């Protein structure tokens, strides 16, 4: 009996309710179109903020390199053979600012391109671009600007090679790497620009125009140019560090070497002046002796002797 009394109530007990176990299940009907729109809005907002942030970081790197070139020109001006390289440095600063302005316009275009789901494409202050009459698209003009930048870097290197005492391989290597990268990316952007509206394969790093399922749109190229902007600070930083090292160590070494050369030239000039004076005195003495002896005809051969 004890067994039946113990077993009866337990066998008839119902399973625990969700309230008892703490596990609740809630079913809510969600419109998939609303979810998709919210996801697109979040994605677009993330893209806009990402490239705004990347542009601000990039512009800071360019300003750092620009200031380093200012310092470079100040310390380099007293050196011999400096005029050509100073002109090249000033020209390079202009070309860097041109690239910066075009990448700013690209970041602004990305901002507007991904504003559709939010209904507001007003640019933030740090992405405001020139009026439409002066606006230049990065897709159209950046390849030429990058090519001009590569030529400016080449002119800097040629100016450095004109200085016999220049031996800083790190600086020329960093400038050469920057130059080759600029030329490569200029060609890539031109190739992608020619493929607008054509098919491309998703996942290709350089947007190679091969058969695929997605038409190459303008926004895709803008994002690719954004990736180019993301790469460029590594080159500007390396060039800045190499310039800083050259200013600290290379310029004083060149000044010291040129100082020694000037001292040698000064000593040679002093010796030459002394020998000229001795020669002139000896010549006068010889002419005076000839006159005293009654031989007054002086020929070129006698003077040479």
Please write the tens of the pLDDT for every residue from 222-252: 999 999 999 999 999 999 999 999 888 878 7
- Tell me, what's the pLDDT at 198? 59
pLDDT given for residue 25 in this prediction: 52
Query: Higher pLDDT residue, 120 or 295?
Result: 120
Q: Give the mean pLDDT of the chain.
A: 76
Element containing residue 215 per DSSP (H, E): strand 214-215
Q: Is 199 helix (H, G, I), strand (E, B) or coil?
A: strand
State the pLDDT at residue 300: 46
- As a whole number, mean pLDDT of residues 158-184 equals 90
- Integer Cα distance of 217 and 110 in angstroms: 12
Average pLDDT over residues 93-108: 94
User: Is the model's pLDDT at 270 over the cut of 90?
Assistant: no
List, as own/partner pairs, every contact residues 248-251 make where C-beta atoms lie below 8 angstroms and the sequence separation is at least 24, other chains included: 250/166, 250/167, 250/168, 250/171, 251/75, 251/76, 251/79
DSSP sequence for 4-48: HHHHHHHHHPPPPPHHHHT---------HHHHHHHHHHHHHHHHH
176 vs 269 pLDDT, higher one:
176
Mean of pLDDT values over 168-185: 94
User: What percent of the chain is predicted at pLDDT more than 90?
Assistant: 35
Quote the pTM value.
0.69
190 vs 297: which has the higher pLDDT: 190
Distances (CA, A) of 71 to 56, 237, 241, 255: 23, 15, 13, 16
Residue from 131, 129, 126, 123 nearest 105 by CA: 129
User: Left if phi > 0, otherwise alpha if psi is -120 to 50, otherwise beta: which for 135?
Assistant: beta
Where does residue 84 rank: exposed (0-12), middle (13-18), buried (19+ CB within 10 A)?
middle
Please compute the mean of the pLDDT values over residues 44-53 and round it to a whole number.
87
**Which is more confident, 258 or 212?**
258
What is the per-residue pLDDT for 212? 47
Q: How confident is the model at residue 77 (pLDDT cuts 50, 70, 90)?
A: confident
pLDDT given for residue 35 in this prediction: 60
Confidence of residue 90 (pLDDT cuts 50, 70, 90): very high
For residue 153, pLDDT over 70 is answered with yes
């Amino acid at each position: 009996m004890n067994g039946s009394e113990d077993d009866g109530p337990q066998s008839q007990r119902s399973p625990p309710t969700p309230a008892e176990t703490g596990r609740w299940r809630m079913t809510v009907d969600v419109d998939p179109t609303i979810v998709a729109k919210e996801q697109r809005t979040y994605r677009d907002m993330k893209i806009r903020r990402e490239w705004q942030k990347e542009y601000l970081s990039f512009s800071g790197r360019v300003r750092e390199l620009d200031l380093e070139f200012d310092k470079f020109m100040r310390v380099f001006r007293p050196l011999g053979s400096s005029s050509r390289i100073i002109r090249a440095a000033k020209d390079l600063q202009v070309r860097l600012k041109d690239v910066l302005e075009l990448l700013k316009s690209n970041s602004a275009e990305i901002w507007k391109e991904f504003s559709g789901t939010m209904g507001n494409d007003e640019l933030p202050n740090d992405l405001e671009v020139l009026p439409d009459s002066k606006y230049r698209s990065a897709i159209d003009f950046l390849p030429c600007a990058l090519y001009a930048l590569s030529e400016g870097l080449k002119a800097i290197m040629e100016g450095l090679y004109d200085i016999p005492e220049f031996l800083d391989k790190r600086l020329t290597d960093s400038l050469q790497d920057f130059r080759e990268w600029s030329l490569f990316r200029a060609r890539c952007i031109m190739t992608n620009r020619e493929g607008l509206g054509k098919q491309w394969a998703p996942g290709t790093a350089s947007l190679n125009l091969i058969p695929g399922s997605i038409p190459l749109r303008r926004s895709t190229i803008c994002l690719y140019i954004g990736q180019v902007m993301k790469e460029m600070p590594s080159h500007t930083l390396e060039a800045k560090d190499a310039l800083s090292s050259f200013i600290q160590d290379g310029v004083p070494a060149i000044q010291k070497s040129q100082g020694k050369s000037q001292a040698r030239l000064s000593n040679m000039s002093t010796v030459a002046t002394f020998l000229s004076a001795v020669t002139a005195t000896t010549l006068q003495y010889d002419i005076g002796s000839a006159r005293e002896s009654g031989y007054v005809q002086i020929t070129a051969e006698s003077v040479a002797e």
